[in-house]
């Protein structure tokens, strides 16, 4: 069994960037589970599969191969779809609300993490995917702060982004992710809560890295 770190939190809390930094610092594999829900949502849209039909979504997953590369590219059915996933947000949240979709992707995530030193980020990693993880962290920040971060991130990528729209969508997505009955966004009882409101990315990453160093006894 490898050393496993679970990082959960709402969208744009900084969890994926922090997980990437952690992976770099400790030479661990980074598994961004949100990318997998995004990839399935992207394929469903492309193939005009009804995002509200659980049965069709499961069938689609069964005919899909998904791979995450060490540099965070997403290879789906042998194609690199990474560039298409940033804007498939609310749709990813919608497909992720179905128990059978989660069951398939959780299984895949557990297989990916098996016997690896890894850091996995998502919503249910500490509670469902890796309940036995060595370190569990729950990262949060005020929704306005997160919406500002996401707006700036998209603008930097040259994507047209309006703060008010992003804030509205983020509130909607938080609600969907928190209130779904299966695998909701939830802090595990044994997870450490880190609030990054007002922090720079460097500050937040350092807090998490120092904490893991302490746990690893380094
Ligand atoms: O982390 P993210 O914002 O890229 O995730 C996109 C959506 O996928 C998110 O709104 C909810 C879903 N998701 C999930 O249900 N469980 C996870 N472990 C990761 C993401």
pLDDT in tens, 134-191: 999 999 999 999 999 999 988 998 888 999 999 999 999 999 999 999 999 999 999 9
Task: Indicate whether 158 belongs to any domain.
Answer: yes
- Over residues 190-196, mean pLDDT: 95
Of ligand 1's atoms, which has the minimum distance to the CA of residue 109? 18
Whether residue 215 has pLDDT greater than 90:
no
pTM across the whole model: 0.94
Pocket around ligand 1: residues whose beta carbon is below 6 Å from it? 11, 33-34, 37-38, 92-93, 96, 122-125, 173, 177
pLDDT of residue 217: 82
117 lies in some domain: yes
Span 55-106, pLDDT tens digits: 999 999 999 999 999 888 999 999 999 999 988 989 999 999 999 999 999 9
pLDDT at position 63, please? 97
- For residue 184, the CA-to-ligand 1 centroid distance in Å is 10
Q: What's the mean pLDDT in 18-27?
A: 96
Task: Name the token pair of 163.
Answer: 């703060």
Q: State the distance from the centre of ligand 1 to the C-alpha of 158, rounded, in angstroms.
A: 23
Residue 50 lies in a domain: yes
Atom of ligand 1 nearest to the CA of 106: 18
Closest C-alpha to ligand 1, atom 15:
96
> Is 218 a domain residue?
no
CATH number for the domain spanning 162: value is 3.40.50.300
| pLDDT at 124 > cutoff 90 | yes
* CA 99 to ligand 1 centroid distance, Å: 14
Q: Could you list the residue range(s) of the whole structural domain that residue 161 is in? A: 4-213
Is 104 inside any structural domain? yes
86 Cβ contact list (under 8 Å, min separation 6):
154, 157, 159
Distance CA 155, CA 99 (A): 34
Number of structural domains (the chain) is 1
Whole-angstrom distance, CA of residue 143 vs CA of residue 178: 14
Contact present, 34 and 177 (Cβ < 8 Å): no
Q: Return the pLDDT at 157.
A: 85
């Amino acid at each position: 069994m490898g050393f496993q770190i679970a990082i959960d939190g709402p969208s744009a809390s900084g969890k994926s960037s922090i997980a990437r930094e952690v992976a770099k610092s400790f030479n661990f594999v980074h598994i961004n589970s949100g990318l997998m829900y995004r990839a399935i949502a992207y394929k469903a849209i492309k193939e005009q599969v009804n995002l509200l039909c659980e049965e069709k979504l499961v069938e689609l997953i069964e005919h899909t191969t998904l791979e995450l590369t060490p540099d965070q590219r997403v290879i789906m059915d042998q194609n690199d779809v990474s560039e298409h996933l940033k804007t498939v947000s609310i749709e990813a949240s919608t497909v992720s609300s179905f128990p059978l979709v989660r069951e398939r992707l959780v299984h895949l995530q557990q297989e990916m993490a098996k016997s690896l030193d890894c850091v996995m980020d998502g919503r249910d990693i500490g509670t469902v995917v890796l309940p036995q993880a060595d370190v569990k962290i729950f990262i949060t920040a005020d929704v306005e702060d997160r919406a500002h971060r996401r707006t700036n991130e998209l603008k930097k990528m040259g994507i047209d982004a309006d703060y008010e729209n992003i804030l509205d969508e983020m509130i909607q997505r938080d609600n969907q992710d928190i209130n779904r009955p299966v695998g909701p966004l939830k802090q595990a009882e044994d997870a450490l809560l880190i609030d990054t409101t007002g922090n720079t990315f460097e500050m937040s990453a350092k807090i998490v890295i120092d904490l893991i160093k302490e746990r690893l006894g380094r």
